[in-house]
Chains A and B, each alone.
Chain A
């Protein structure tokens, strides 16, 4: 494992301009968390509760399941102001609220898709089409990996997996070296990580040694440098075989740390473990960690659904911020929390036998960012009083992507890859860096 000092000194692929972040942890909440019940209170909805919203406000809405004339439903949650910044956060997120002064809450995020697959792809790959590289793949393509022993892009998933599956962390048309490697929850953390049954580590090493010798011989005979890369891949694979178990071995973590995240306790354990592992990965030079917890797709019974997901994720997400901060890693690690879209101010009362829910809402939703050169203790953006549209500091997901790349020192316009006749980039043909989110607006 590299020390932090070594990390800072290690050679990097040159960036387009100075970076404020070296690593990204994306706390991905697929399904679409309800901003109205978490970060964006809409007291005005109480007036409309149980009634359709005014036609002139809803007539252009295109929604996945409900009609725009569905009845509005006010949030039953209590909102209070938190921290020195007075951020408004609901009672579902008491732990996150205590980190309010570290967060940059962004209320005006919007996207083009109102269904899960295209929405997730839009957020993760910048396009609603399948087959494009994921943000983590782009970042590793742009910056290279800092870890000698672990993949540069790791995926950890708990709860229901995201609906677009592996497409959310695909290398797309980039070389497969940039694909997200999913750590699995049971069995090997990385597929095929364990040596075959009956093969000890020493036996694996001797198997690799003879493979290496024979490959080196072939290299001399053929002059093909690709064999050097093959040899290097086998060596990295071998190191991963010990680095991954070391990464997963939490014996060096204090009881207080485990307690802070909620590891070994339900309902937080799995997601907490992933947040803690994300920190350990960043410490070991992993460039991009995608931590996914789903699903927030509360078409029905949203009160119950949100309560459950917040009980699982609130404490570990907050602990991650606090822990990165106390270790001096928050400044160089960008943490992002959010889903592919938000939820409607109207109810989706499909059935009478269970509680109400909310439909997908792409026009405005909330995310938060922390660390990595992002402003702390601010809320940026504003939505209308009914929660239908973002009206101030609107940030399209392409803008968010441009901003994330920017913190890493990458210009989203210049990070391109030629494919099928043209240069592609993460932000497709759009994207503006949201300078208002940056701590030090660059000169």
Chain B
């Protein structure tokens, strides 16, 4: 063992990302670092992009929507010295900022609205976490607090409802309800996912590689891994009533009457007594399997099919929460038929009763809920070769030794969270500012945004990275402050026009990059340009194709994310399905994307609406208006001539829809230039 530990210490000493973050002495801003490097390579930065390009870029980057023509006009007319800063501040204050950057965080948080796996059940309350993210970013919650609340909000003294909802971060794991799976196996898989996700998102380390054996490249032993795992192993899934404002009153008012009717319905069918008998039978089957096969199966299914089924069963009836009682009774009514004769089943007619209860439920105004975490003491053992059936030595929770310790002797999850955002941790701030940078320039200062370990790449501008990380921490972990620093820089405001092939991949940033918009932003831009967009912030997920009214036109981030059946637009344009933390999206370019924009009824509807929105004007003016709405600029003479010729070939009824569709299909429209 000793030589391995030696090896670990040696490797740790060498890896750049584990060295303390040091504020470089000079230069003192982003451009200083970029220019110094360019000068060394004999390169010059690009000139500033035209104002029209700049505002479109800024608006797409900060809020994910193109600027409205009025916003563009105001910016063009503003000749004051701080015109740009005013736009930056306006957009940073916009509630759409939390949506745009919330989506970026949700990629990392592997957010989705369903369980995954075969059943892939809908998670009706998952959105509460998404909402928390949007709100937190809009309020510019300091990143240290943002971290602590998501990882361990439930452990904060006098935790507020919102602080507990933040722990929904851990509830974005997949849930397997397949037959035959051992619930313990799946619990362990979820804990592994929480451990690995935390490692990737905050530390940029592939800690998961140490699940089965010591990490091959980075100084993380298997024992270190399970000591980190222990933080998450000492927690369980929980569930809280999290009513939205105004829900309690009507609920409490209706409840006595509801409870009375429910009791009557159940009593009329003798449910309390039958269920008690059934529960005793299930507990018997659990204790002595192999006696009655049908009861064995019934118990196995309860464990996998019923949320918390076994736990509720083993809780004495009097100690169950309202919700728990309801879940178990519902399950009993649906499954009692499996352990009795068919005649008896038909006689009982529990299916009818279940329907009556469901009808009754509709009379009780619901309280919103939220999936959360809570502490739960549990021994952790190292899992040999990562196998949950093969536990080895017992381990206690401990912070990764490759990083400076905080000195806490028996750390809990809350201490882990605090340690991740401690001033001495060299990774978190670097990792996070790098991911923000990546969204603005198309690649991070460290290209491998998910891996700061020895298999990742080294930074192109190490001093700049440290300078940003220092600014981030010293600025009270304000994320908006980092955003502002970046978009105020000349480097950000450069033209994206390619000048030469000197710097392939634009590593040195002698220009900006043209970046294809995300799936969500493409949808949102088309809806915004056409005037269809319902700009409501937050709330439950929607299924736009099946909705009428506002829900049809909500932003892409609110489209229900079913893991096994993602929305085609999201698949085609590289949005993640939520199977694991994603720190860097692909930007592919495929014929299915073309078909999507050309023919998808949603985009045709947007084209039609855009045509209608600009109705009434003469050709030139109408075309100007369309260009302003979609591209933020006016057409030139060539474009005017081509589009006029096109228009004249088309049947009048769809001619302008055709023009609108042409604009929505342009590379320029789906690109941030």
Residues of A with Cβ closer than 8 Å to B? 63-65, 67, 69, 114-117, 129-131, 151, 163-167, 173, 175-177, 179, 181, 190-199, 203-204, 206-211, 213-215, 217-218, 221-224, 226-227, 229-231, 233-234, 236-238, 240-241, 349-350, 353, 360, 420-422
Contact call B206/A199, Cβ cutoff below 8 A: no
CB closest residue in chain B, given A352 = B342
B42 touches A (CB below 8 Å) = no
Interface hits, B146-205 → A, CB 8 Å:
174, 176, 178-181, 200
Q: Which residues of A contact B590 (CB under 8 A)?
A: 176-177, 233
Using known A-B contacts A65-B297, A221-B497, determine if residue A196 contacts B604 with beta carbons closer than 8 Å: yes
Which of B252-260, B272-280, B530-538, B558-566 forms contacts with chain A? B558-566
Please, what's the 1-or-0 string for B274-295, where 1 marks a CB less than 8 Å from any CB in chain A?
Answer: 0000000000000001100110
Question: What is the distance, in angstroms, from A134's C-beta to the closest C-beta of chain B?
Answer: 13
B579 touches A421 (CB 8 A): no
CB of B642 within 8 A of CB of A214, answer yes
How far, in Å, is B259 (CB) from chain A's closest CB? Answer: 36
Complex: how many Å from CA A164 to CA B596?
24
Give bound CA distance, A64 to B301, whole Å.
Answer: 11
Chain B residues in 8 Å Cβ range of A163: 118
- Considering the chains assembled together, what is the distance between the CA atoms of A273 and B178 in angstroms? 32
Taking the nearest CB of chain A, how far is it from the CB of B602, in angstroms?
Answer: 10
Give me the 3 closest cross-chain CB pairs, A-B, nearest first: A64-B180, A223-B498, A421-B451
In the assembled complex, the CB of B184 is this many whole angstroms from the nearest CB of chain A, namely 13
11 contacts between A and B (CB under 8 A): A64-B180, A67-B296, A164-B564, A177-B588, A177-B590, A192-B599, A196-B604, A207-B646, A210-B642, A218-B667, A224-B514
Shortest beta-carbon distance, A169 to chain B, in Å?
11
Nearest residue (CB) in A for B658 is A207
Instruction: Check B600 against A192 for contact (C-beta < 8 Å).
Output: yes
Q: Is B450 an interface residue (CB 8 A)?
A: yes
Q: Are B289 and A115 in contact (CB under 8 A)?
A: no
A222 to B50, CA, bound (A): 13
Quick one: which of B435-486 are within 8 Å of A by CB?
Answer: 448, 450-451, 453, 455-456
A193 and B599 form a contact (CB under 8 A) = yes
Q: In the complex the two chains form, is B639's CB within 8 Å of A214's CB?
A: yes
A217 and B639 alpha carbons, distance in the complex (Å):
9
Q: Report chain B residues within 8 Å CB of A226.
A: 514, 516, 589, 667
Which residues of chain B have C-beta atoms less than 8 A from A234's C-beta?
591, 594, 598, 665
Contact call B497/A222, Cβ cutoff below 8 A:
yes
Tell me the complex Cα distance, A116–B176, Å. 11
- A114 and B453 form a contact (CB under 8 A): no
In the complex, the answer to whether B598 meets A237 with C-beta atoms within 8 Å is yes
For the complex formed, measure the closest distance between the CB of A184 and the CB atoms of chain B, giving whole angstroms. 11
Are B496 and A222 in contact, with the CB atoms below 8 A? Answer: yes
B455 to A167, Cβ gap below 8 A? no
B294 to chain A, nearest CB (A): 8
How far apart sit A360 and B178, CA to CA, in the bound complex (Å)? 12
> Which of B77-85, B262-270, B570-578 makes up part of the contact surface?
B570-578
Asked whether, in the complex, the Cβ of A181 is within 8 Å of the Cβ of B592, the reply is yes
- In the bound complex, what is the Cα–Cα distance between A231 and B180 (angstroms)? 50
Query: Does B315 touch A at the CB level, under 8 Å?
Result: no
Taking a contact as CB atoms under 8 Å apart, the answer to whether B577 and A131 are in contact is: yes
Please state if B180 and A214 are interface contacts (CB–CB under 8 Å): no
CB-nearest residue of chain A relative to B562? A165
Of the stretches B136-144, B224-232, B647-655, the one at the interface is B647-655
Q: Which residues of the partner chain B approach A222 to less than 8 Å between Cβ atoms? A: 496-498, 514, 673
Q: Which residue of the partner chain, among B178, B455, B565, B591, contacts A237 with CB atoms under 8 Å?
A: B591
Q: Which residues of A contact B499 (CB under 8 A)?
A: 223
Q: Which residues of A contact B592 (CB under 8 A)?
A: 151, 176, 179, 181, 190-192, 237
**Distance of A177 Cα from B572 Cα, bound (Å):** 9
In whole Å, how far is A420's beta carbon from the nearest beta carbon of chain B? 5
| Contact between chains at B662 and A190 (CB < 8 Å) | no
Q: How far is the CA of A181 from the CA of B595 in the complex (A)?
A: 12
Name B's interface SS: loop
Chain B contacts of A173 at CB under 8 A?
A: 586
Residue of B456, B564, B580, B638 near A167 (CB, 8 A) is: B564
Q: Nearest CB to that of B661 among chain A residues?
A: A207
Residues of A contacting B179 in the complex (Cβ-Cβ under 8 angstroms): 64-65, 115
- Expressed in whole angstroms, the minimum distance between the Cβ of A32 and any Cβ of chain B is 13
Contacts of B594 in A (CB 8 A): 233-234, 236-238
Measured between alpha carbons, how far is A163 from B300 in the docked complex, in Å? 21
Query: Is B643's CB within 8 Å of the partner chain A?
Result: yes
B595 contacts A190, C-beta separation under 8 Å: yes
**Residues of A close to B566: CB separation below 8 A:** 166
CB distance from A201 to the nearest CB of B (A): 12
User: Of all chain A residues, which has the CB nearest B575?
Assistant: A176
Residues of A within 8 A of B450 (CB): 420-421
Q: How far is the CB of A52 from the nearest CB of chain B, in Å?
A: 11
| Pick from A209, A215, A223: contact of B667, CB under 8 Å | A215
| Docked CA distance A67–B3 (Å) | 46
B10 adjacent to chain A (CB < 8 Å):
no
Q: Say how far B308's CB is from chain A's closest CB, in angstroms.
A: 21
Given contacts A117-B118, A223-B498, contact A203 B658 (CB under 8 A): yes
Chain A residue numbers with a CB within 8 Å of B4 are none
Which residue on A lies nearest to B639, using beta carbons? A214
How many angstroms from the CA of A176 to the CA of B577 in the assembled complex? 13
Which residues does chain B contribute within 8 Å of A130, judged by CB atoms? Answer: 116, 174, 563, 577, 579-580
A116 touching B178 by the CB < 8 A rule? yes
Interface string of B236-255 (1 = CB under 8 A from A): 00000000000000000000
Q: Is A420 a contact of B591 with CB atoms below 8 Å?
A: no
Q: Is B6 at the interface (CB under 8 A from chain A)?
A: no
Taking a contact as CB atoms under 8 Å apart, the answer to whether A214 and B451 are in contact is no
CB–CB B571/A240 < 8 A: no
Known contacts A164-B564, A192-B600; decide if A179 and B571 are in contact (CB<8 Å): yes
Residue in chain B with minimal CB distance to A240: B591
What is the minimal beta-carbon distance from A183 to any residue of chain B, in angstroms? 12
Q: Which residues of chain A have C-beta atoms less than 8 A from B5's C-beta?
A: none
Any A CB within 8 A of the CB of B601:
yes
The 8 Å CB contact of B646, one of A175, A177, A210, is A210
**What CA separation (Å) do A411 and B60 show in the bound complex?**
43
> Are B180 and A191 in contact (CB-based, < 8 A)?
no
Give the residue of A117, A195, A229, A422 whose beta carbon is less than 8 angstroms from that of B599: A195
Interface centre among A176, A181, A199, A222 (most CB of B within 10 A): A176
> Nearest Cβ in chain B — how far from A85, in angstroms?
37
CB < 8 Å neighbour of A63 from B180, B294, B296, B448: B180
Q: Does B568 contact A (CB under 8 A)?
A: yes
Check if B666 is an interface residue, CB within 8 A of chain A: yes
Which chain B residue has the least Cβ–Cβ distance from A174?
B586
A230 touches B662 (CB 8 A): no
Q: Do B589 and A233 touch (CB < 8 A)? A: yes
Q: With A and B bound together, what is the CA distance between A69 and B667 in angstroms?
A: 63
Shortest distance in angstroms between A244's beta carbon and chain B's nearest beta carbon? 10
- Whether B646 pairs with A206 at a CB distance below 8 angstroms is yes
B508 to chain A, nearest CB (A): 17
Contact of B117 with A by CB under 8 A = yes
Interface residue? B668 (CB, 8 A): yes
Chain A residues whose C-beta falls within 8 Å of the C-beta of B296 in the assembled complex: 67
How distant is the Cα of A62 from the Cα of B523 in the complex, in angstroms?
47
Query: Does B353 sit at the interface, judged by CB under 8 A?
Result: no
**What's the minimum C-beta distance from A360 to chain B, rounded to whole angstroms?**
8
Rounded to whole angstroms, the CA-CA distance of A353 and B179 in the bound complex is: 21
Contact A421-B666, Cβ < 8 Å, known A117-B178, A223-B497? no
| B residues less than 8 Å from A349 (CB atoms) | 293
What is the bound-complex CA distance between A114 and B217, given in angstroms? 32
Q: What B residues does A217 contact at CB under 8 A?
A: 638-639
Which residue of chain B is the closest to A173 with respect to CB atoms? B586
- In this assembly, does B209 line the interface, its C-beta being within 8 Å of a C-beta of chain A? yes
- Taking a contact as CB atoms closer than 8 A, the residue among B217, B453, B598, B666 that contacts A192 in the complex is B598
* B614 at the binding interface (Cβ < 8 Å): no
Question: Inside 8 A of B591's CB, which chain A residues have their CB?
Answer: 151, 233-234, 236-237, 240
Give the residues in chain B near A164, CB-CB below 8 Å.
118, 564
- B contact residues around A213 at 8 Å (CB): 642
